[in-house]
Structure 1
Amino acid sequence: MAAVAGIQNLEDNIRTQALTKRIRITEYFQDFDQLRSGFISEQQFLRCLWNTLGLQPTEEEVQQFKNKYDLKNDGRINYKLFCEEIDRNFNPKNLYIDPVSQKNLPLEFLGTKRSVRPLSPESEAKILAVLERIQQSFPGPPDVSEEEMNLLVLKYRDPDRPGLLNYLNLHHDIVAISQQVAVEKGLVSTFQRNVDIVPVISTGDPALNQIFDKIRVAVFKNGIRTIEFFKDHDKLRSGIITENQFVCGLALAVGKEAQLSRPEIQKVVEYYRQPDGRVQYKVFCDMMENAFNIPDLDKKPLQSVTRPVKGALSRGLKTLTDEEERRVNQVLSEISEQVKRRRLMMYQYFKDYDRAKNYTRVMTKTQFGRVLHFLSLNVGAEDLKLIVRKFEDPASGDVNYPAFVQAVDQEFVGHTLDDVSMMDKNRTNTPVPEKVATAADCSVSYEDLMSRIRHIVLTNRLRVIEYFQDYDPLRSGSISKSQFRRGLALLGLSKLGAHDLNDPQYTLLCQVYQNPQKEDQVLWTSFLNDVETVFTQPNLEKDPNYQVPASEMFQVPKPGTIDWSNATEDHKSLLEITMDRLRQRIVQRRILAKPVFQDFDNHNNGHVTRSQFRQCIRMLELNATEEEMKALEAKFCNDVGFDYLTFLNELEPKPAPQMMYITRLEEIRNTNMKKKLPEQNVADNLEGVLNKVKTKVAKERLRVYEFMKDYDKLRTGRMKKLSFRRALDLCGFELKEFRSLHFRRQTPNDPDYVEYLKFSDEVESIFTLKNLEKQPLKEVVQFKPPEEWELNNLSQDGELKFMMCMNKIAEKVRKHRMQLFPLFEDYDRVHNGTVSRSQFRRVLSELELGSMVNEQEFELLWSKFDVKIGGKDDVNYIAFCEMIYAIAKFEWRKP
């Protein structure tokens, strides 16, 4: 036992030194343990103690360290166990014991002892009394004697440094005594620690507790900073002021708001008065500033906050004499009858006079009388004074108008009356305690409820796991019931969602998916597996032959829909006859029924009310008897209303749209497989072929040489015929007259080769001539590609008739100075200078020129000015108009 006590004293000494120097000794030991094994040699252990704490253990102390921390008896010390013993405040593995009781705090600071020889019990008792007096009036009471001062010096002197005192130990002793005094007064409970301010106190005097409650409520309701009314009297911030100063500050702070009388204020003064006559205002202010809260609550999660009782923060009504109460009740009853008879909404008129910006719910007496007069609720002067006294706010003296409105208007609920006598016993808005919902109260079965949930998930394509997995970070498959309810609401099972999941239905789900190990939790993964079967079956890879049911089988009608299969034959026949008659009338009159129903569907949910359905039937003049109406409502009505979309689908059935995707895909594939269209206007001679090539080169600005030189690596100026043809294809000519080009440009000595360089020079001569710098006097004629219509040739007879027709048209255009371009341009939407043949005829008819041209002449005009646009024959109206103007001898671009 002596060895155990010795090692504990040694550890306490080391702990005190470590706390004094504010160091963690673990960091110094780790430098000697490179492998982090937790063990170092004996010499290394002693060296660390000397370097960090300046300790030189004796041989006996070293042996004590070895006995406790040399676990393997190999001369190595387990420094980790030693550091945990020194640094540890409590054992984190033992959660059944309060951490406060496990703390190993040193009794001394700064590495000192109080005295070499302890004081006697009588001296310790005297020092304790002096410390209590010091705690009450720090920095020191004036009545400390010389003897008591000597005792304090003996208590706190430093044995190692004569003439110095350890004031830090004095400070901690005074703090400990103040906490003990607070415990004795009831300001803190014995099981709480480090609570600087406790908002609620409990004294032995019920009257004093009632005064404190009044002050707390007034401070909380009005947001009063009580310390602002006292600190100006405390220049030294000692927390103590005189009695007169405390009385003045308290009366000024909450005297009017809390309705404090002089005796009540004196009672508070006596509670906080010290022996020297001064008052501890700081303790009082700390309690009031945190009336219903605890400061630094985020650092004290285990503290329980005291809340005010229900109705404590509301404005109460004054108590009058019995005779006055009877008169007030009589006047209020008369006003209530007028309000009920005239259906007055009084609250809005009173609220307009609420003068404050933060909505104080009070108004002046003059304003109160003015509003009553405005509402023609005439009350006598004496009765008005009684009403004002009854509903007068004790703090401000104004009238509490919400309480008055609730007393006379049975339909108004916006204020809580504390006076039960002022409330109507037959009020329908009196709160009724709610009945606890159970699974037995559910009106639907579990199967029907799950069918409805599966339908919602299927139609909206919801991923159920997304709404619950965030509540289960550990993926345990279990969440609390409140989290389960929240996830269901996000899923759409709420009053604002697709289905109103009431309390009995929610209780039924919780009962089915209850966690057997935890009563307050739900197995949400089981719910997930049951719901998502609408998409697929779990573990389908293990059973490849399993036939997954169609998703349509999980769709259910809306709640309240009648199962028409169970209807009688008379009802079915009546419905069929009615639908046939209405269908025939709609077909005969070609009525659009849907827009009429949509005008009544403000929520756009496909439903209208029954009265709206009957109104729509009358507006559409689809007359039906009462029995037929009832049959239609029985078939198409549900809890939401009348399902007019289903009604119209059966009334006007539309053919189901065909799935054209595969057909269109096949058409596109067949189109892409077709070869290119055959070339039009194939030239029959070599000059025609060269003109086609030159025209394309001039329009697209191509360099033929760039496409052909890659086939002539040696730059000989010739290439094979096959390569020549391939190069022309790369140029995009798409010619069929390759044979003529081969014959014209083939090499004389080798018929398998083509002199492509000469061909390229001939083609590029449309821009300029080669070696033009050697022929400076030669004129270069720019190649002009012929217009497409200029290539159109008519027969000799057709040419004569064409010119005769053009002359007739030009003569009339010349006489009337007609504008041809504007009308043609109106039909030329893409501005390519062409119109269709029918448009060409229409323009001539609008210009009154069509009557001059017969059908044969129209054919000649079309053939002469024909151009190919997208494989279609169009007419070049620009060439036509310019030729007419040229024959009519108009100036260029005139008229």
Structure 2
Amino acid sequence: MHYKTLKLCDIWRTCNKIRSAIFRVNLDLWDYYLPLDPDKQGLISELKFCSVLSGPLKSVIGLSEQEIADLADYFRVQDGRIYYTQFCEVINNSIPDFAKNANLVTGLEWEDPLQCNRLSMTEERRLNLLITKIAVQVNMKKLVLKPYFQDYELVSKNNGTVTIAHFARILSYLGILVSAEDFNLLVKKYIKDNYTLNYVAFVAAIDASVDYMDKHGMLDLGGDLLAQFPGRLIDAQLPKLPRPEIGKVSAAAIFGKQNVFHPALNPTKQTDNLLTIIRSIQQHVLKNRLRVNEFFRDFDPLHTGKVTVSQFHRCLDALGLSGLNKMFLSLPEIETLMIQYRDPSDSMRVCWKTFEDDVDQVFTIKKLEKTPCLDVNTPPKAVLELPRKGGNLWQNVNPTTKELCEETVIKVRQRTMKRAILLKPAFGDFDKHNNGHVSRAQMRQCLLTSGILLSDEELYALEERFNDELGFNYFWFLREVEPKYEQPLFAGLVSDMKKINAPPRPKPTERKEKDIVLILAKIKGKVVQDRVRIMEYLRNFDLHNEEVISKADFKRGIDACRINLTDAEYDTLFEVFGSIKRCNCIDYKRFVNVVEESFTQNSLERAPLVTPIQHVPTNDCERNFLNFEERKVMCVALQKLSKKPELQMNLLDVMQDFDSTHCGTISQEQFLKALALRRMMDLISRNEFDIVCKGFGFMRGLRDEVDYRAFIKALDILHATNKYLPF
């Protein structure tokens, strides 16, 4: 047999032994060693040091001679004396002073005397019913609960808490009998410190329930509930009594005098299967655009993909709440989900990550990048066509009822159209929350006040089709009954306005819009005329100096330069100057270099003898284009006019007088007056004059003018050369 050897030479073990004894007995080593050092040198002899530990403190600390000798060797200085001050500081100064520490719990809700735990929505409803039941019993018996709990507090010195066993004994002694599930619910709500219950919060809840019932007149003079109070049967779980009349009610009883009860319209709710529950959650998430991950990730800080059962229940309750509508899941439905997604290795945890993946399939499919050829149809058709909760499937309804319902809908539609009846205001008066539902009695009252008389069979057929868990869905009913479209009073005016407001048809792409040479010539001419630096406009979109920008930014920068380009011309530029490495991006640096060739050429330092030629913009367009015959006529007309030189006629001064803005162009009327003033119109015919105006035409604003400077220059050249123009 092996025994553990005790190492007495361990100095720190000996110090811990002394420290624990001093902490237990509350001793101070300074009181024993300071009288032995009257000179206050901090050093004493070995004999004095060992006499304290082996003398008065031997029975308290219980050190052996070997341990005392080891301590003396450890704290001995060179001259043989013992450094006792260091020994006392190691032992006494390491004792924590709890009086100086602040409270760990200050200002938190745990210090609140009415603090209680949070429960799920379903458990809160059950607890409210249980508190109401206990409050009624306490009020009937005229009991005061607080003294029974305070008697235990006087003995145990607790602060507003009692043990679970004593809490159960007090309820049993007072005659308040609760079931095991109800008692566990109370413990879960008011438990504190894992073994005590906050009876102060429990008594406050009972008193608040009694005060509420007394304030609203729900109690009679004897303390019992009044008969007209709708919640008379107050219990956390209602008893399941047999219902022999279900399934054995005749049609005469339904359509006859007993139609008020309608047992067939309130069938026993059965728990839907798992697939239906998942689809209902998917439909709720799809309508409200919710992310399931947002409700669960705070409860899973380690990202394990699992939460506890209570946390899963709480998250489902939070998921059901929304600003648009609410989704209520019963306790059996939640238990069905827990069973399906329970962790196989831990029965107390639920795999919420798997639940999230199944619900998010209404938006898309996970890991779609692994199957790029898969066609995803979202949302699924089964989710969109999910039958409304609480209503009957129209496919499973009796064919006789279907035919009767269709005839009733047609009958109501004809009466509303002939009599011009508006049913929506009548239903809207009862629908205060505008949720599209009214009760069965309100539906009958609306039809009766509108003058639509229907039999009980017809009303029952309508309820079979339009009823759900919230009542009669009059939105769907009005969609079937009211006219679909009203013919406008001025049909012709409406059609004309539609034609006027219709978007313009796209213009066909011309050939010149596909020619990159013509497009660049247009841009260069605009740049030369207006002296625009395109680089200054495009550089602002390249924040990271990547020499590429997006197509939208490129188009925005060109528009800022006031270069009017069509969409087809932009597409041609995108195709020519598109970036090879970046998709949907433009190499604007290369585009700017091409445009800047209108002023200079790149890399002139390598060819110093080359003289750059500046681009000369042209004003040629479709308006001043001349065919062969017209050019022929224009050459003859210019030849006639060039016989009178400018030095003799002084035609330029006359045309400059008409050009008040000095823009270089005048109107055709002014051009005609100038030629007539110098007797030059006698040399040419009217047809030749029109062709000359067209050849030297220039579009300014919304009219065509004549470039008289080019016209005078052409006449000077012809007069100087004295040659005919080639045909």
Q: Whose RCO is larger (CA < 8 A, sep 6+)?
A: 2
Q: Which has the larger radius of gyration?
A: 1
TM-score (normalised: structure 2): 0.41
TM-score (normalised: structure 1): 0.35
